[in-house]
Amino acid sequence: MPRVGEIIAGKYRLEKVAGEGGMGVVYAAEHLVLCQRVAVKVLLPSAAISELVVERFALEAQAAARIQSEHVARVMDAGSTSTGAPFLVMEYLEGCDLAELLKVEGPLPLADVADYLLQALEALAHAHAVGLVHRDIKPANLFLACRPDGGNILKMLDFGISKAVRATPAQKALTGHAVLGSPAYMSPEQLRNAKDIDARADIWSIGVVAYELLTGKTPFDGDGVGEIFAAILERDPAPVHTISTHPPRPVRLPPEISTIVATCLKRKPEDRWPDAAALARALKPFGTGAFAPAVERSEQVLSRARMLTAPEIATGSHLLPAAFVAPSERGSRDAVKSKVRSIQGLTVTRWAAAAAAALAVVALVGSVAALRTKEFATSHERVNEPRIPPPPAPRVGLSEAANEISKGVTEDGDRRVSLANDEPDASAVSEPPRFRRNLKAGSPTRPKFLNSRE
């Protein structure tokens, strides 16, 4: 293990030991480049010899990096020391976890418990939205950190045994071979098969944490792990509001809080709160109001996750976990599928209509082009055909022409032109009379009344 004062990765100087666990040691360190205090978690040599443990250690870094929430401890870097020990660099937190707070103060006030749980549920909403199940929710992994403004904020720690809902075969092998977690906080389905669990397993654990923070004791207890497991699988705990605390609670808990906690602890996952947002909505009236916006944020992040996963429901490539769907929504899953299919069908119809319109335009352009080609060919033939001169007009004397016009008779002799009404006959317009050319002027001789009309 590295010693205090040692520099690892060329930029982190270890200042002191901040905590120890069964898997590693946490140091308070300084980033030499940024002059920033950080926490460095180094895996113990006894644990580092196991490839499975090292992979879980890397999984913790990857899982925490995927979750974008202020209520999850941020992972900033990862690597190995000069001796090959894996390490993680996280934000440095000052404060205490809820297990230490419970040990010092005893059962906590309902308003404080509701505020802590609202923050924890927002962290879970973000984790569940990216498909991660924590699997180790307990007071020791809920850290009450001090903020720069003097207030407190709850941070969720230790995603080392988290499980991806849509895990790859390798991830399933990594997270499903053994019973992982803290026995008193594990759900019945987690005891039976750690691989086949979803977000509702974390809802169970939150219910156990709420029970313990309000009463000072866990709902399922025994002398050993076997008795604890038997209690989880077979025994129903006493309602929260009926348990006496030491020291005595100044105000008795309302029965409604017992109903909320009991719903978390239903053995069948489908009987529990469907997601973190629904549980947060139920707890909101019992808090101080300072963290009421966390309810809306939790609902929004889960709703967005459902919207992004909705097409996968229709195609069947990835099924949306039931824990992410409220009971009313579960009943309408078929309606969601049919709606998505109708949208897809509408898209196909629109594409078909667009294709038909494009074909119609192409056909129209082809018809116009063919017509133009035909017209060009016809005009070309007309240009090239031999021209036959018109038959010469019969020569009529000037006096005879004048006599015919004065009588209002055309050259065919049987159709008159209306001169009085100034309405020329159609036949007279279409077939104008021919006049003999004036040999002297070089232009045809025309009646005076036609010259005046022009």
3-state SS of 13-81 is EEEEEEEECCCEEEEEEEECCCCEEEEEEEECHHHHCCHHHHHHHHHHHHHHHHCCCCCECCEEEEEEC
Give helix 98-105 / helix 200-215 axis angle, nearest 10°.
20
Q: What is the CB-side half-sphere exposure of residue 58 using CA atoms within 13 A?
A: 12
**211, 213, 227, 212: which is closest to 263 by C-alpha?**
211
DSSP 320: P
**259, 116, 134: which is closest to 201 by C-alpha?**
134
Tracing tokens 């006049």 back to the chain, one arrives at 435
Active site residue 136: yes
CB 48 within 8 A of CB 59: no
Among 97, 115, 136, 202, the one annotated catalytic = 136
pTM: 0.66
Give the pLDDT score at 40.
Answer: 95
CB 12 within 8 A of CB 31: yes
pLDDT by position in tens, the chain (length 454): 889 999 999 999 999 999 887 778 999 999 999 999 999 999 888 777 777 778 878 877 888 888 889 999 988 998 988 888 899 999 999 999 999 999 999 999 999 999 999 999 999 999 999 999 998 999 999 999 999 888 999 999 988 788 886 545 444 444 444 556 789 999 999 998 877 789 999 999 999 999 999 999 999 988 889 999 999 999 999 999 999 888 888 889 999 999 999 999 999 999 999 999 999 999 999 999 999 999 999 999 999 998 887 554 333 333 334 433 444 444 444 544 454 454 445 445 566 666 777 777 777 777 766 766 666 555 555 555 555 555 555 554 545 544 554 454 444 444 444 444 444 444 444 444 444 444 444 455 555 544 444 4
- Segments of 68-135 assigned E as strands: 75-80, 86-91, 95-97, 132-133
Give the pLDDT score at 266.
Answer: 96
CA-only gyration radius of the chain, Å: 46
Please state, as a whole number, how many other Cβ atoms lie within 10 Å of the Cβ of residue 106.
13
Helix (H) or strand (E) holding 144: strand 142-146
Complete domains list, the chain, with CATH: 1-92 (3.30.200.20), 95-325 (1.10.510.10), 398-453 (no CATH)
CB 216 within 8 A of CB 143: no
CB 69 within 8 A of CB 126: yes
d(CA 173, CA 330): 29
